[in-house]
Amino acid sequence: MQQENNMKKPTTQETDLEYSLKEFCSILSISMATGRNWIKLGKLHPDRERLGKPYFSAAYTSKIQKKLQKEDTGSLKSRRNKKYIRGNTIYRNYIPKDSQNFETIQEMIKQLEDSFLADSQIRAILAECAIQLLCQAYERNTAFTENFLLHYSMGEIPLGQYDTLIQELLSDETSTSYSKELCMTVQKNIPQAFQVSFLLEKNVDILGLLYISLKNLGERKAAGSYYTPTYTVHKLIQSLLPQEVKLQTRILDPCCGTGNFLLQLPNYFTMEQIFGRDIDRISILAARINMALKFKDTPVSMIKEHITIQDFLLEEQNSYDFILGNPPWGSQFSKDVRASLKEKFETAKGSHVESYLVFVEQALNAVSYGGKIAFVLPEALLHVKSHLAIRKIILHQAQIEHLEYLGNVFDKVQCPAVLLQIRKTKKPFHTRGIEISYHGKMFTIQTDRQIDPEHFNFHISDEEYELIEKIQHQEHMIFLKNQAEFALGIVTGNNKRWVQKEQTTKNEIVLKGTDIHKYKITPKETYLIYAPEKFQQSAKEEYYRAEEKLLYRFIGNQLIFAYDNQQRLSLNSCNILIPHVPHMDIKYIMAILNSTVAQFIYSRKFHSMKILRTYLEQLPLPFPSEKQQQEIISLAEKIMIEKDEKKWLAYYEKADKLIACVYGLSEQEYENIHRAENIRP
């Protein structure tokens, strides 16, 4: 970007729309660090400063944006940051599908989807909606049906004690009052947002839907904000709360956002019992208005005292009977905050601080003994290696009471979630009595299981657990740990550059995960020039060139292994296993790993969408007699070359039953496993 010294700086009046540095940088798709640097270098000129912070007029912002779009320089492209994603979009799953407001808001968002909205514009739209809802809740009859904010700014809509909630929403962080002229300017710039009629619906977070749909997508992701659908909130509350609670019961949402969890609480709660925290100012201001709608005639002073802008992780000292909510996932902390978290929390000691882990740890600090915590969390908390610390903390400080596997519940987010409910206790952890909901099945664990913090695999029934325990503890089981070599496929760093579709004298076949099937490899026309020094990551060549090796799909939850003796290369979706188990043939091991029994054990024990080395090393492999091994190898070799689908399946099923016998299973146990897995290769 060229210096701006030769550009005439536009003049602005007090009533012009202005952008903060954060908003300005988001419009330009640059980081705030880049924006600050350009100001220091004189490439940008803020129109004014307030309390030491730069502000840019809409006219100047538009001028710089157009200039950047015209520039054909690499520097801007290299400064672009993917987290600064522009645009607005409706958050489909947030409120009930039968809401009378959904289509109205959807149409508004559609009209605004290509616009970047400044905080002042978002606050004005929220105020328009809030004024309408408050008028309906408190029966303030009006002669007009739109532009409520304009009429409010003219003093035509008295809201009594709730005036202060609207005025705070309209004011920015640097001011305690709002500008009537600014309200008029905003309405002039985006009139379609003020020609909408909102309908009051009991306990429906209309303000929340508006806010998250208008908010910049990149800001949502940077904050780790994944807003919980109301039907999931209902599930959490129903599992957490008894039919009646004591009057002195205190309940907290430590990351309350606009207050949807608190809105859904049963009617027997009062405002005196409810508390909410969040670091997002606009969210808290909207949550206060939601509380004024839910708890009519509650003093504003109490609402503001209970629903506060506060960092739960670093500032909360109180004790609560219930803590519930959806902690942020993947928040980006500043360097100073990260240092404070590392000092305070065990779950923050690693190289990366994951926000939802420290929220769970802090919730255990803030809840009273005997009190309950219920959070919506990523399923990864139950089994990912880097989350081991929080599992150990739960085992030492709490008792799991309810665990529900939710799957992908968040709009446009591919990350399975769980609903985890725990009680803080001084007693030893036990599994008896834990309620489980998994893929439509509901059961209660009736046995005391041995729990390993490495994996929380509570999703298996008592019968399945007992069967796996039986298999694992047989004397003739061996394990691959310390008896096999593993290697990753090649990570080129740029497949478009390195992976080719036509064969030449210089390249060779390279296999991908989709080329690997049970017992078979079906290479496609994919080629690679082997140049390990130029790749982003590569294993030692000896692994790719091994005389014999097993190749397996890395991504997925199915064990899919094939035999290779052609020294072929593989990409990182296709990993390598070279076993060195005395008196155990590599083709026999391939057959075991492709079996229904091995799949059953793997899926029940590890519940992972990746086939990981640490998990494969824990799979029990039955040591066969020489006759059994040769019989299974013979069938494996037939399966490897058979092209007729019916014959292939017949060979597979025969080998599968033989493997079940080697595992020591009865016919009924094998049938139960087969039915549970429902696998057809």
Which tokens sit at 417?
């979630």
27 in helix, strand or coil?
A: helix
pLDDT in tens, 23-54: 888 777 677 777 887 887 788 889 888 888 89
Helix axes 206-214, 119-137, angle to 10 degrees: 170
673 in helix, strand or coil?
A: helix
- In this prediction, the residues of the chain whose per-residue pLDDT falls under 50 are 1-15, 72-87, 217-218, 220-224, 679-681
Which tokens sit at 361?
């740890």
Q: What is the enclosing helix (H) or strand (E) of 390?
A: helix 388-397
Rounded Cα distance, 626 and 624, in Å: 6
Report whether 75 contacts 206 (CB < 8 A): no
Place of tokens 């962080």: 173
Rounded Cα distance, 385 and 455, in Å: 8
Determine what percent of the chain falls in helix, strand and coil, rounding each to the nearest 5. 45, 15, 40
Average pLDDT, the chain: 88
Which tokens sit at 183?
């309200």
Give just the sign of the alpha carbon dihedral 19, 23, 27, 32.
Answer: positive
pLDDT score at 13: 39
| Three-state secondary structure readout of 561-618 | EEEECCCCEEECCEEEEEECCCCCCHHHHHHHHCCHHHHHHHHHHHCCCECCHHHHCC
pLDDT score at 224: 44
* CA-based R_g, the chain, Å: 30
pLDDT in tens, 138-178: 999 888 888 999 999 889 999 999 999 999 999 877 666 66
Tell me phi and psi for residue 621, to 5 degrees: -115, 125
Rounded Cα distance, 206 and 197, in Å: 12
**Which of 245-250's residues contact partners 24+ apart within 8 Å by CB, and which partners?**
245/269, 245/273, 245/321, 247/273, 248/273, 249/273, 249/321, 249/322, 250/275, 250/318, 250/319, 250/320, 250/321, 250/322
pLDDT score at 651: 97
Report whether 576 contacts 539 (CB < 8 A): yes
507 in helix, strand or coil?
A: coil
pTM of the shown model: 0.81
The size of the chain, in residues, is 681
Q: What is the enclosing helix (H) or strand (E) of 638?
A: helix 626-641
Closest by CA to 88, choosing from 113, 110, 120, is 113
pLDDT score at 294: 97
The one-letter amino acid code at 368 reads: S
Buried b (16+ CB within 10 A) or exposed e, 256-280: bbbbbbbbbbeeebebebbbbbbbb
pLDDT score at 176: 61
**Which of 279-282's residues contact partners 24+ apart within 8 Å by CB, and which partners?**
279/309, 279/310, 279/311, 280/223, 280/309, 281/173, 281/309, 282/119, 282/122, 282/123, 282/126, 282/169, 282/211
Q: What is the enclosing helix (H) or strand (E) of 527?
A: strand 527-528
